[in-house]
Structure 1
Amino acid sequence: MDALKSGSDVFFVLIGAILVFAMHAGFAFLEVGTVRKKNQVNALVKIITDFAVSTLAYFFIGYTVAYGVSFLGSARDISGGAEGFAANGFTLVKFFFLMTFAAAVPAIISGGIAERAKFNPQLIATALFVGLVYPFFEGMVWGDRLGFQAGMTNLFGAPFHDFAGSIVVHAMGGWLALGAVILLGARHGHYKPNGAVVGIPPSNIPFLALGSWILCIGWFGFNVMSAQDVAGASGLVAVNSLLAMVGGILSAFIVGRNDPGFVHNGALAGLVAICAGSDIMHPLGALVTGAIAGVIFVKAYLYTQNKLKIDDVLGVWPLHGLCGLWGGIAAGIFGLESLWGLGGVSIAAQVTGSLLGATIGGLFGFIIYGGLKKWVGIRLSQEDEFTGADLSIHKISAYPEDDYGPR
């Protein structure tokens, strides 16, 4: 029975890892559909290369930073033969699962810096984020680093609750991206000299929609499999994720006046927000959480673009940074037993932990991108940006036959 349980847990977490891995295709196509045609190849290459760098950074450094476990041992030891490694290679597949979460951070950032960021400096940033910054906070919340959770319990009577990463993954990625977007500056031609916005429409709505659909499907692995064992799998998490997604779609549809970009990102806003409390909320609380997230995304995106003049191409700071922050706080509201939740949460702990995650992300976003900007530069030249990242960096466009015309 023990062998059956450990094997089942390995398979369960492996399926979750595969589903979250598939979400990176969603990140890629969401960006491909949003950027102009001359930057579509760059979006695809950037996401998959970031994933490769993230895997190495998390394998050799990040997982050790977060959980104190190193894989630099024999295959027999790390697959279950040594102390600290579970049977059937469960620790290895857990690494795979959590690595796909870590790799989501640079995938999130990618959408904000699209169309004008240099390629290699971003890979350096990815290695630093996934190897050091992200696992530092991950280990505080999901591990036992720095006695963070014990301290939160002593202060507020409950630990900081972030079941599937509204703060650990999404807010961290969104607030890291904010520093990059501000330090990069707006795309050339996006704002007129008088500050008026020049609309740059998405290049391909079907690709944008495909990206959203892939992310939505994978998200059920992201949330449900965060239990990390078969015994902990919960239909409550699945239904809460579903209703939060629906709430985000409909509120973004209404507030965004049927704009397809807002509708498809509204689904993601709801899913970002429900990650933290998906295991403790009542479905009605999840629906409200998602609906509020959809409004936050639309309003914040328009405000940052039109008022603050921050050219965040895919709106990753509103979507992941702000909706993630809301999700962390919402877990402390709708998780309360008085609102039909399962309890065991504290609003004060949720606010404190959420703001701490956003602060760490925002601070290190400016530090790392600021250092890279001074050291090697982080922005394409004006000529390369005008030509497009596809030809400037990868020497081929998404539609090379169009470059030559009929023969």
Structure 2
Amino acid sequence: MSQSQLGGDVFFLLIGAILVFAMHGGFAFLEVGTVRKKNQVNALVKIISDFAISTVAYFLIGYGVAYGINFFASAATIQGGEGSSFDGQGLSLVKFFFLLTFAAAIPAIISGGIAERAKFGSQLAASAIIVALIYPFFEGIIWNGQFGFQSWLEATFGYAFNDFAGSVVVHGVGGWLALGAVLMLGARHGRYGDRGRAFPPSSIPWLALGSWMLCVGWFGFNVMSAQSLEGVTGLVAMNSLLAMTGGILAALVIGRGDPGFVHNGALAGLVAVCAGSNIMHPIGSFITGGIGGFLFVHFFNLCQEKWQIDDVLGVWPLHGLAGAWGGIAAGIFGLEMLGGLGGVSFISQLIGTVVGCGYALICGLVVYGVLKQTIGIRLSEDEEIMGADLAVHNIQSEPESGIN
């Protein structure tokens, strides 16, 4: 690789890493706008603290689990100096940064589901376990060919599991882990029962800002998953754009103009297209995104009211179900007969999706179940009624408002 080509790849992937890093601000503000005002500070502190914990866990353990690489060598070695096994000009380091932002998205996803009643320290402990071991184990299987799973799919069904930008690896895993966490936590006080009620969002503008930040960063999430200038293609950008549009329009119609549904519909469309964004036709991506938006609205309502699963931001339907649909959709709209580029098997997509989501649900139940029985995972009733802002951080989102 020439020096200029290597430098171009470093810069290209660094911009992608920065864009996905910025998405974590989107996660934060989406949660800030959805939770009640007494939990806004907690939402902000959780997301940035989870990112810090995730960085340490992924650097020390997780990246090695997924890719067999560690950075316990001299700076001259890890930046790719002469005789080093690392890519030159620090390209290996930027790859770590980029993939870290994906790994750290898992706790950010979970945070929205368990909002308003989860213990702060317990969630940080769960984040460390998930990013150090649980997520990278599946990441390594799909994106690094570990344990022969991808080879078996290819040998048996013709093609390996295609998940270009993480519909299942990131979003499906995050959403199904979150479902396990939500089930272990139980519903917020006052949410259900004879006198139970729904809690409206505290700020539609903050919620909308979070959605916009995520949508913008998502083009780094998807397009830069090529990880090189040589591999990048505008097809991924176009497919992401059309899927986002499909998700918005579906949520607009089905959700009857509800702003929460509309802004999350955009995200559902983007979640769904991640897996097949490199092989679908834009029309197939539009349909995929539209179905993702439908799944979010429909199952959010089912979860919140009929099934009484108190998933505050609807992260299971948004990431878990839309992500699972995206994994399967890549095996449909990626086919040449439907305008795709081909090189994909519906059966491989179905198996990979079921394995990933099933693995995540089991892990979510185990991790949060063990923490529940040991250090506890839930605020006390008094703390929850007070709000996590005062109970955990001893400050409100607008401290001056309490001064006479």
Q: Deviations over 1:208-261 (max 9, x none)?
A: 000000000000000000000011111100000000000000000000010000
CA distance in 1, matches of 2:168, 2:266: 18
Give the aligned residue type for 2:302. Answer: Y
Per the TM alignment, residue 263 of structure 1 is displaced from its structure 2 partner at its CA by 0.2
Q: Which residue of structure 2 lines up, in the alignment, with residue 148 of structure 1?
A: 149
Whether the 8 Å contact between 1:33 and 1:203 is mirrored in structure 2 is yes
The correspondence of residues 7-406 of structure 1 with structure 2, limited to 5 A, is 7-81=7-81, 82-193=83-194, 198-404=197-403, 406=404
The 2-side partners of 1:347 and 1:111 are apart by 31
- Distance in 2, matches of 1:272 and 1:73, equals 37
Report Cα offsets for 1:113-136 as digits up to 9, x if no partner.
000000001011001100000000
User: Is the 1:281–1:331 Cα contact (8 Å) retained in structure 2?
Assistant: yes
Give, in angstroms, the shift of residue 197 of structure 1: 5.3
Q: 1:69 & 1:14 partners in 2: Cα distance?
A: 19
Distance (whole Å) between structure 2 residues aligned to residue 213 and residue 319 of structure 1? 16
Which secondary structure state, in structure 2, belongs to the residue aligned with residue 80 of structure 1? Answer: coil
Unaligned 5+ residue runs, structure 2? Answer: none
Contact 1:281–1:335 (Cα < 8 Å) also in 2: yes
8 Å CA contact 1:69–1:84 kept in 2: the answer is: no
Per-residue CA deviation, residues 182-206 of structure 1 (Å, 9 max, x unaligned), is 111100011123xx75121000000
Deviation at residue 148 of structure 1 after TM alignment: 1.6
Contact 1:241 1:278 in 2 (8 A): yes
Deviations 1:31-54 (A, max 9, x none): 000000000000000000000000
Structure 1 alignment gaps of length 5 or more: none
The AA in structure 1 aligned to 2:60 is: F
Question: Given residue 265 of structure 1, which amino acid in structure 2 is its aligned partner?
Answer: N
Native 8 Å contact 1:197 1:306 kept in 2: no
Deviates more, 1:331-340 or 1:197-206: 197-206
TM superposition shift of 1:403: 1.9
Sequence identity percentage: 65
Deviations 1:137-184 (CA, angstroms, capped at 9, x unpaired)? 000010021012111101110000000000000000000000110111
> Match for 2:361: what amino acid?
G
1:71 is paired with a residue whose SS is: coil
Distance 2:180 2:145 in 1: 28
Change (3 A) 1:197 1:344: farther
State the alpha-carbon separation in 2 of the partners of residues 29 and 254 from structure 1.
25
After superposition, the Cα gap between the structure-2 partners of 1:84 and 1:152, relative to the gap in structure 1 and judged at 3 Å, is farther
TM-score by length of 1: 0.98
* Offset at residue 83 of structure 1 (A): 4.4
Q: Quote the Cα distance in structure 2 between the aligned partners of 1:235 and 1:398.
A: 41
Tell me the alpha carbon deviations over residues 292-327 of structure 1, each in whole angstroms, 9 at most, x when there is no partner. 000000000000111111000000000000000000
Work out the CA distance in 1 between the residues paired with 2:242 and 2:85. Answer: 38
Q: Aligned pair in 2 of structure 1 residues 253, 197: CA closer, same or farther (>3 Å)?
A: farther
1:54–1:127 Cα contact (<8 Å) kept: yes
Q: Distance in 2 between matches of 1:271 and 1:107?
A: 16
The separation in 2 between residues aligned to 1:84 and 1:257, in whole angstroms, is 56
Distance in 1 separating the partners of 2:43 and 2:348: 37
Q: SS where residue 77 of structure 2 aligns?
A: helix
Q: Distance in 2 between matches of 1:146 and 1:74?
A: 30
Q: Is the 8 A contact 1:111 1:315 kept in 2?
A: yes
RMSD between aligned residues = 0.9
What SS class does the counterpart of residue 231 from structure 1 fall into?
Answer: coil
Q: Give the SS at the match of 2:112.
A: helix
Q: Which residue identity does 1:392 align to in structure 2?
A: A
Aligned length: 403
